[in-house]
Amino acid sequence: MDLADAHVAALRKIAGISGYGCKAINVGTGTGSTVLEMVSSFEKACGHKIPYTIVDRREGDTVAVWAATEFVESELGWKAKYNIDDMCRD
């Protein structure tokens, strides 16, 4: 739902501005989630265990990545409302 709301906010922004152009805008919560947190949230959402294997990090994998949200908040007035469990359920 958050992602859909972000798209609506973007459409509202460009609807009233001629020549607004194209801008890349990251959306997110501003905090990261681990892969195991995501697996746990998906397990709660679907009611089943999800099989996985823990392996070594691949060459080139980053330690942590998350979306900075300051620009989307100032540009579109958008902020995520839901947590990871809500997002996986939806």
CA 70, CA 68: separation in Å to the nearest integer? 6
CA 36, CA 22: separation in Å to the nearest integer? 35
CA 14, CA 31: separation in Å to the nearest integer? 27
Task: Name the residue with tokens 């392996």.
Answer: 55
Q: Are 6 and 72 in contact (CB under 8 A)?
A: yes
- φ/ψ of residue 71, rounded to 5: -70, -45
What confidence tens digit (pLDDT) does each residue in 1-55 have? 999 999 999 998 888 777 777 888 989 999 889 999 999 999 999 999 999 999 9
Domains of the chain as residue ranges with CATH: 2-89 (3.90.25.10)
pLDDT of residue 90: 86
